[in-house]
Amino acid sequence: MKTFLFLLSAIASIAVAEDPDMSIVVEGHSGIDIYVAPIAIVDMSEHVDIAVNKNATFGLASSHRHLSKSNLPINVYDKHTISYVWEECDYNTQPKKCAYDNAHYLLETTITLSNEQFVVEMLLFNHELQIVARGIWSDKSIIRWIKQQETVMTVDRQDNVTINSKKEDLPLKWVIPSNALHDHLYQASLGLWVGAKL
């Protein structure tokens, strides 16, 4: 019986003492990964207000990515989908650092508003944070000047007309603001992707 217990413990110790698994798991991503950051709005205007979907460029990048010159498949992610692929980084606060650390591309869109115009600019950074493509589209506001001068015309009983003009005030500036429409984002996106060589 002692021999049987000895053999049983020897077999159990052999099974437990196997070599540890020395394999390394390498996660590879096939193709080019691009993180599309939400649109940043720089508002330097006094009276211009726009309402823009800050995630509109994600849909445009997904639609236009096939226009770039690349032999590899292009994967596009936004703030809602990137965490499924790259879990270790906070893309909401540090998108450039995350793109650099994870060796993938970053697409940033900035809309700059002023009283005279707005500019939509898209920049595509490679994994070393170098700009490899740029798309830009702008629109100007329409400015009309309204002359301000009060004129009083009087007619007496003999049909004599008298015209009195008071001091002319400065003309009024009437600004018809430009509209930041989806078409402008669309055109900037087309310009970026058609010229991109990835």
Burial label, 28 (beta-carbon count in 10 A; 0-12, 13-18, 19+): exposed
pLDDT in tens, 104-123: 999 999 998 887 788 999 99
pLDDT in tens, 12-70: 555 544 555 555 544 556 789 999 999 998 988 776 667 778 888 999 999 999 999 99
For residue 7, report the phi and psi dihedrals to the nearest 5 degrees: -65, -40
Class (C level, CATH) for 28-140+179-195: alpha beta
| CA distances (Å), origin 115, targets 42, 93, 154, 171, 176 | 12, 30, 41, 18, 10
Amino acid, single-letter form, for residue 163: I
pLDDT band at 96 (very low <50, low <70, confident <90, very high): very high
pLDDT of residue 26: 45
The residue assigned the tokens 């270790």 is 88
DSSP H stretches of helix in 43-145? 56-64, 82-85, 95-101
pTM: 0.69
Burial of 154 (0-12, 13-18, 19+ CB in 10 A): exposed
Domain boundaries, the chain: 28-140+179-195
Structure tokens at 148: 């301000």
pLDDT tier at 139, thresholds 50, 70, 90 = confident
Q: Provide, rounded to the nearest whole percent, the portion of the chain with pLDDT above 70.
A: 77
